[in-house]
Structure 1
Amino acid sequence: MSHRRALVIGASRGLGLVLAGELAHRGWEVIATTRRESAELNALPLAVEPLELTSPEQLAVLRERLEGRPLDLLFVNAAIDRGNLAIDEVPEAMFTEVMITNALSPLRALEALRDLVAPGGTVAVMSSEQGSVSRNTEPGYELYKASKAALNQLMRSYATRHAADGRTKLLIDPGHNRTRLGGPDAPLDPRESIPAVVDVLEAQAGTPGLRFLDRHGDVVPW
């Protein structure tokens, strides 16, 4: 395989950490960002950059630091969950925090860094089946679901606005994984699910347009 470079935003732990490691294992040159020091991330064969995703100023600094290093893959992995509250119980500050982190900030990152992505490259965001409106048939986690649905809609707008750029655009549902966010009882091990996600990223490369796919490459309904 020819040389490939990826930027993984949000890689200090969980899915992002495993994703960065899997890409590096496959021979990608990986640049990974983190808000805080991560011994696990530092142990991987990749470059680490500091980034608070919610800060436009830090995004601008990262953009400057990466000048001249074209990306074949820009992958944004960012999400927080603030518990299983009915929407009428969610404080405004919590609503704002979750929406900024899960929906606004990933798209702001794509806009800030999109010109670093090489022609024919891939722009991807970690989404969730929880953001599928048509599959929202069970109660619970209303704010998290709303934030992922907002993320999906904003990505749709991004893809529409940049339809002529020829890049692959993906929303990825990795399934319910055992992470700090997913909880200890989740059915999937990231060490098994994330290699499948990377298979999808590699298989979809070079196919322009937006798709919402799961870790098997199957379409997730909007």
Structure 2
Amino acid sequence: MSTTSPRQALVIGASRGLGLVLVGELAQRGWQVTATTRTSGGELQADADASRGRLTVESLEMTSSGQLAALRERLSGRRFDLLFVNAAIDRGNLPISEVPTEMFTEVMITNALSPLRVLEALRDLVVPSGTVAVMSSEQGSISQNTEDGYELYKASKAALNQLMRSYATRYAGDGQTKLLIDPGHNKTRLGGPDAPLTPEESIPAVVDVLEAQAGALGLQFLDRHGETVPW
């Protein structure tokens, strides 16, 4: 009887919320998952301990170039079918005129610059037919920005989308699927308690999209239903 190796996924930012549920969903579907967290222990490590080797945990502070280089070195012999970057912060609902420079810099580095640095550092670990994906948000859509609020967060996600567009242009011929994913408004630390969705509701649909789009060429900005989000 022939056997096939499980698909390999590397998920950046999985200690809680959407990332934590994402690695669990992938593992449940038979993927071999490597997930990163900034701090040891916690629910992610507990899930790994109970996974019978299906899930392993690596340490990474995504904004640290040194830690990113060290992770790249530790994973140098591995190859992945999926690289998914899930990381974002929100520093409240201030009008841009009241946002301190330090806060602006922190949010932009975390939400826009660092995800692309991760892709640049780790993209060669993804097989030529694999997928690189980043968790975005419909709040990064310029055309849909018709309501007040969360100006810095929206700007950071729009910057992320633009940087991902540049990334996709630069590596247009590499054969890899490139996705920006809008998971919807979820009850997480970032999304708040009044959000209409839970990660347990939205993430299975997100993984459906990831699996359905495998092999597609060009960059797409999709929601959890696989529908295009306007730029």
TM-score range, shorter chain: over 0.9
Normalised to the residue count of structure 1, the TM-score between the two structures is 0.98
After TM superposition, the runs of 4+ consecutive aligned structure 1 residues lying more than 6 A away are none
From 167, 176, 185, the equivalent of 2:176 is: 167
1:12 matched to 2:15? yes
Normalised to the residue count of structure 2, the TM-score between the two structures is 0.95
For 1:9, the aligned partner's letter is I
1:40 matched to 2:35? no
Could you report, residue by residue, the CA deviation over 1:20-76 in whole angstroms, capped at 9, with x for unpaired residues? 110011110000000012421112221000000001111111011111210000000
SS at match of 2:93: coil
In the alignment, the residues of structure 1 paired with residue 40 and residue 198 of structure 2 have an alpha-carbon distance, to the nearest angstrom, of 23
Contact persistence 1:73–1:123 (CA under 8 A) = yes
In the alignment, the residues of structure 2 paired with residue 73 and residue 114 of structure 1 have an alpha-carbon distance, to the nearest angstrom, of 10
Instruction: Show the counterpart of 2:25.
Output: 22
1:135 matched to 2:138? no
Contact persistence 1:120–1:208 (CA under 8 A) = no
Could you report, residue by residue, the CA deviation over 1:162-197 in whole angstroms, capped at 9, with x for unpaired residues? 000010000000000000000011000110100000
Deviation at 1:213, TM superposition (A): 0.0
In the alignment, the residues of structure 1 paired with residue 79 and residue 33 of structure 2 have an alpha-carbon distance, to the nearest angstrom, of 12
| 1:28-177 map, 5 Å | 28-44=31-47, 45=51, 46-177=55-186
Could you report, residue by residue, the CA deviation over 1:95-140 in whole angstroms, capped at 9, with x for unpaired residues? 0000000000000000000000001000000000000000000000
In the alignment, the residues of structure 1 paired with residue 150 and residue 68 of structure 2 have an alpha-carbon distance, to the nearest angstrom, of 29
In the alignment, the residues of structure 1 paired with residue 120 and residue 16 of structure 2 have an alpha-carbon distance, to the nearest angstrom, of 24
Instruction: Show the counterpart of 1:207.
Output: 216
In the alignment, the residues of structure 2 paired with residue 38 and residue 173 of structure 1 have an alpha-carbon distance, to the nearest angstrom, of 28
In the alignment, the residues of structure 1 paired with residue 120 and residue 206 of structure 2 have an alpha-carbon distance, to the nearest angstrom, of 23
In the alignment, the residues of structure 2 paired with residue 189 and residue 36 of structure 1 have an alpha-carbon distance, to the nearest angstrom, of 24
RMSD: 0.8
SS at match of 1:165: coil
Structure 2 gaps, min length 5: none
SS at match of 1:136: coil
Contact persistence 1:12–1:37 (CA under 8 A) = no
In the alignment, the residues of structure 2 paired with residue 78 and residue 8 of structure 1 have an alpha-carbon distance, to the nearest angstrom, of 10
Could you report, residue by residue, the CA deviation over 1:134-163 in whole angstroms, capped at 9, with x for unpaired residues? 000000000000000000000000000000
Structure 1 gaps, min length 5: none
In the alignment, the residues of structure 2 paired with residue 4 and residue 120 of structure 1 have an alpha-carbon distance, to the nearest angstrom, of 12
In the alignment, the residues of structure 1 paired with residue 223 and residue 166 of structure 2 have an alpha-carbon distance, to the nearest angstrom, of 20
In the alignment, the residues of structure 1 paired with residue 164 and residue 198 of structure 2 have an alpha-carbon distance, to the nearest angstrom, of 27
SS at match of 2:173: helix
